[in-house]
Structure 1
Amino acid sequence: MSASTHWLPTAAAQAVLERGGNAFDAAVAGAFVLHVVEPHLNGPGGDMTGVFVTADEPGKPVVLMGQGPAPEAATAEHYRAEGLDLVPGSGALAAAVPAAVDAWLLLLRDHGTWELDAVLDFAIGYARDGHPMLGRVGATIAAVAELFQEHWPTSAELWMPGGRIPADGELVRNPAYARTLERLIEAAAGAPSREARIDAARREWREGFVARAMAESVQVPHRHSSGTDHRGVLALADLAGFEAGYEAAATVEFRGHTIAKTGPWGQGPALLQTLAILDGFEDRFLDPSTELGAHTILEAQKLALADREAYYGDTGVPLDYLLSEEYAAGRRAMITNRASHEFRPGQVPGHEPYLPPLRTEYAPPALARSAAGVGAAGLGAGEPSVAPTGETRGDTCHIDVVDRWGNMVSATPSGGWLQSSPAIPELGFCLGTRLQMTWLEPGTPSTLTPGKRPRTTLTPTLVLRGGRAVTALGSPGGDQQDQWQLPYLLRTIVGGYSPQQAIDAPTFHTTSMPGSFWPRTWEPGGAVVEDRLGEDVIGGLERRGHVVTRAGDWALGRLSAVVRDPATGILQAAANPRGTQGYAAGR
């Protein structure tokens, strides 16, 4: 079974499975197609995280770590000297070391079975020969067209050929990216084994022509979301010095299931904390379709996300304490029948919680205001998938795969979207913007620090039961990713919903926490809901003090999932109907 946020990656992954490849071969093939067909949501210059199990060790969830660190020259002092008080939301100053490609190739080398050229053939074909462009890609290009034309000419050349935005459904090509992948394959051709060939391609990416082009591209000053022009700081040594890797998953037990996530350098443990809080409530408090359930879930999420801001980062995070039953019980007691509008991190012995600046709106520094140019104001506002009006904006992708043997992977690629920074013409893609998730203030758990990973929002999920993986799921959505996955888990584990029913059901999320993306604002007491939640439920939330924004009937969440019953071997898959783009396939 394969499921993703776009039908072509799902089809590519399923084709690999049909031809004898395993889940890891399939996921990698689908991921590189995602680079081509959802360029407004992810790219090769971005990042990814995954969680997987192998058929040999079905009860051991492993994190695939594809989040690059800050470059050595990315110091808070340098950014402040540039006149900035936040890391910009776009432009090369926001670029962490690109990590997605190395992570995918690492997974293919260690757990896949196919040769590199066969896996990349799908993406090369769509980039070289063309694919129908999504209307959302065109809308994204239109939103930044003036910026491209006036400040980022390489992006205009790539995404607006002939000065025109391609129409919805028009066949579009990216021959530069096709050639990049072909050159990786050529660089690997002489190696003596499958594993050595993949490693040769990884070295070419980190040290060869790709690395040189990326490092050279940032030396050209260009417009950032601050409204000012800057050079980037990414260097060849940063690229050569990074390798993706594996880590043990963070887990929590909930209603007889083990939920596996990344460590606290990602936001994943916030979902685990939320589940630990909710585990102490009776089932009637856990139904997302009721006023009581929605209120309780929103309040638990606010508490967990406050702890995310206060404690999470690529540093010494007291995760065992944050996930303990004792701590969860204390947090649970803070939930009342009224909506909280406060920022309320918990108290951890020996740790001082970081209290971020709580901006309800953002005014850029004087330098940025005086130099602000065309298209700069809303440029690169990060990864929030829902604007205050509920309008969907670009963010991230997701893919899930399970094979006949029980290999299972959930992965969330992101960053390096076409509106991130100027396109690198010879490569056919641009750099990512993950550093915008760091702070320039000293002493925070996610202060911009050379060699440290920014705290990512990318947060795929695995669910295990009886010591074996049963579900892989995830969603795009920035800060909302885990918030949209939570109702799925509650509806399937507690409510008895099928995977597709749980994805289709109306959902919601809180905005009552500092956003992870530039300009890092928040809305005290904010709750964004799908109208299908119903007038009674929405009215009840408002009476409880939630500041409700209606997003429309089918607006929130882009979940996909694959499911395997270890007892029977029966497989299922489900994908999001919102936007008529996600797709699940299998047999």
Structure 2
Amino acid sequence: MTYTQPASFTTRPTLEGTFGMTASTHWLATASAQAVLERGGNAFDAAVASAFVLHVVEPHLNGPGGDMTGVFATAANPSEPIVLMGQGPAPAAATREHYLSEGLELVPGSGALAAAVPAAVDAWFLLLRDHGTWELGDVLHFAIGYARNGHPIVGRVGATISAVADLFNEHWPTSAALWMPEGKAPAAGEMIKNEAYAAVLDRLVAAGAPDATREERIDAARREWSEGFVAQAAVAFTAQPHRHSSGTDHAGVMSLEDFAGCQATYEPATTFEFRGHTIAKTGAWGQGPALLQTLAILAGYDDEHLDPSTALGAHTILEAQKLAIADREAYYGDADVPLDYLLSEEYSAQRRALITDRASAEFRPGTVPGREPFIPPLRTEYTAPALAGVGAMAG
């Protein structure tokens, strides 16, 4: 394979400022965050406001039914990065035995049986409670406005809706009613509303008593989410059999107890010192430490090997990433993971020695004393037992 030198010109400008800086994947979320800063809110107020606007304007990328993890440090304690853990667990009844009893050898890619307990909203509320300064209603004002009054949809949203239009029409009529109100996917620039979500956010804001403290009002909204009308509606809706990406219909198994037992938490970040910088990631319950392992391997090279705009740099970085990701597959998970050893110089030197001037196509997890690496099975094709003879799912 030949190497293509990247162009030096880029359309991405260098952004600078003296008051504050915000960035997101959608201009309305960015503008909302900047407005918070300019009206006296702090960075956490701005981040939460932006996050909920993204729920409205980029529903194909994230939403209230998802999860989130955040890594941050505060001005009061900048040397100790913190992880905000808003990754929900699988429902208690989402067992191997249940999926096999449903005729499924793999977890479907979509549908209620694919879903973890949603923790994103609780995580954002927790962050706002502990580190923000604004009232919940003021922070959610932007998202509520765009949801109720509408916003011009971006083309990528319309394309995503179009790709699942048949599924919505045949199996998800409530989604079709929301996203295809005229029977077709909206085109770029069309105004679209999500008045149901605006009403949900209004009810969460109203959950707090006027005479309570700011923190108590936010906690009331968290309880309404995890124990009140949101949890009740979600559990009831997903309990009805519906089409999954397997091409078969199944009921979800998420319960009210799953919702009530899922709360966002904080934990110390996993860190690695690289070229005078502290890089912070989640623990090994996520894939974040794979980047730290990559850096630990690359730490033994000179700068010439670390320039991704050169063939040598791209090769070295990619080979280090392959080794780190192999370890991710073999050792990461919820159980005790030997991160201290995986990030040690001794182990990193062993991994570094495997990098030659030729790219490797092998899966090469390392050897950790006292541990047996998990070697994931490789499927090249799959037909669900319940789909034998049925054919591929339309759409």
TM over 0.5: yes
Q: Quick one: distance in 1 between partners of 2:337 and 2:393?
A: 41
SS in 1 for 2:207: helix
Root mean square deviation of aligned Cα: 1.1
2:338 pairs with 1:318: yes
Equivalences for residues 411-560 of structure 1 within 5 A: none
Which residue in 2 is equivalent to 1:462?
none
Alpha-carbon deviations, 1:268-317, whole Å to 9, x = none?
Answer: 00000000000101111111011111111111010000011011111111
Q: In 1, Cα distance between the equivalents of 2:385 and 2:90?
A: 26
- In the TM superposition, what is the alpha-carbon distance from 1:60 to its structure 2 partner? 1.0
The alpha carbon displacement at 1:349 in A equals: 0.7
Matched ranges for 1:175-186 at <5 A: 175-186=195-206
Residue 63 of structure 2 is matched in structure 1 by: 43
Question: What amino acid sits opposite 2:58 in the alignment?
Answer: E
Q: Helix, strand or coil: the match of 2:319?
A: helix
The equivalences for 1:250-399 within 5 A come to 250-359=270-379, 361-371=380-390, 374-375=393-394
Q: In structure 2, how many angstroms separate the alpha carbons of the residues matched to 1:275 and 1:364?
A: 39
1:70-109 correspondence to structure 2 within 5 Å: 70-109=90-129
Q: Are positions 1:28 and 2:56 aligned together?
A: no
1:237 lines up with 2:238 in the alignment: no
Distance (Å, rounded) in 2 between the aligned partners of 1:262 and 1:333: 27
| Amino acid in structure 1 at the alignment position of 2:162 | A
How many angstroms apart in 1 are the aligned matches of 2:388 and 2:361? 31
SS at match of 2:142: helix
What is the identity, as a one-letter code, of the residue corresponding to 1:171?
M
Say whether residues 1:174 and 2:188 are aligned partners.
Answer: no
Distance 1:97 1:191, change over 3 A: farther
Q: CA deviation at 1:371?
A: 4.3
Q: Is the 8 A contact 1:270 1:308 kept in 2?
A: yes
Q: In structure 2, what is the Cα distance between the partners aligned to 1:370 and 1:184?
A: 47
Question: What is the Cα deviation at residue 59 of structure 1?
Answer: 1.0
Give the aligned residue type for 1:286: L
CA contact (8 A) 1:66 1:100 kept: yes
Dislocated runs of 4+, deviation >2 Å = 368-376
Report Cα offsets for 1:444-497 as digits up to 9, x if no partner. xxxxxxxxxxxxxxxxxxxxxxxxxxxxxxxxxxxxxxxxxxxxxxxxxxxxxx
Name the residue aligned to 2:30: 10
8 Å Cα contact 2:162/2:184 also seen in 1: no
User: What's the offset of the Cα at 1:228?
Assistant: 1.1
**SS class of match (1:35):** helix
Counterpart contact for 2:165–2:184, Cα < 8 Å: no
Which residue number in structure 1 is paired with residue 6 of structure 2?
none
Task: Show the counterpart of 1:205.
Answer: 225
| 2:153–2:190 Cα contact (<8 Å) kept | yes
C-alpha distance in 2 between matches for 1:40 and 1:237: 28
Deviation, 1:164, is 1.8
Higher relative contact order (CA 8 A, sep 6+): 1
Which residue is 1:218 aligned to? 238
C-alpha deviations, 1:491-536, integer Å up to 9, x for none? xxxxxxxxxxxxxxxxxxxxxxxxxxxxxxxxxxxxxxxxxxxxxx
Match for residue 477 of structure 1? Answer: none
Structure 2 CA distance, aligned partners of 1:193 and 1:368?
A: 55
1:326-385 per-position Cα deviation (integer Å, ceiling 9, x unaligned): 1100000001111111111111111111000123x3322232344456436xxxxxxxxx
Task: Tell me the equivalent position of 2:183.
Answer: 163
Separation in structure 1 between the aligned mates of residue 390 and residue 344 of structure 2, nearest angstrom: 49
Specify every segment of 5 or more residues in structure 1 that has no aligned partner in the other structure, as ranges: 377-587
Q: CA deviation at 1:180?
A: 0.3
In the TM superposition, residue 238 of structure 1 has moved relative to its aligned partner by: 0.4
2:170 to 150, 153, 156: 150
Secondary structure of 1:61 counterpart: strand
Bigger proportion of residues as helix: 2
Partner of 1:490: none
Counterpart contact for 2:85–2:265, Cα < 8 Å: yes
Q: Give the number of equivalent residue pairs.
A: 375
Amino acid at match of 1:296: T
Aligned-partner Cα distance in 2 for 1:172–1:79:
37
* Aligned amino acid, residue 368 of structure 1: L
Match of 1:141 in 2: 161
Select the structure that is richer in strand: 1
Alignment of 1:113-152 (within 5 A): 113-152=133-172
- 1:62 maps to 2:77: no
Given that 1:218 and 1:234 are in contact with CA atoms closer than 8 Å, whether structure 2 keeps it comes out as yes
Unaligned runs of 5+ in 2: 1-20
Q: Counterparts of 2:101 and 2:350 in 1: how far apart (Å)? A: 43
Whether contact under 8 Å (2:104, 2:385) holds in the other structure is no
Q: TM-score, normalised by structure 2?
A: 0.93
Counterpart-to-counterpart distance in 2, 1:368 and 1:67: 32
Q: 1:148·1:156 contact (CA, 8 Å) conserved in 2?
A: yes
Q: Which moved more, 1:77-86 or 1:123-132?
A: 77-86
Distance in structure 1 (CA, Å) of the matches to 2:173 and 2:393: 14
Q: TM-score, normalised by structure 1?
A: 0.63
- Equivalent position SS for 2:273: strand
Letter in 2 for 1:354: F
| Bigger Rg, which one | 2
Please report how far the alpha carbon of residue 129 of structure 1 lies from its aligned counterpart in structure 2 after TM superposition: 0.4
Percent of counterpart pairs with the same letter? 73
C-alpha distance in structure 2 between counterparts of 1:74 and 1:4, whole Å: 34
Matched with 2:14 is none
Aligned residues of 1:295 and 1:339 also touching (Cα < 8 A): yes
Separation of aligned partners in 1, 2:46 and 2:60: 22
Structure 2: how far apart are the matches of 1:370 and 1:157? 32
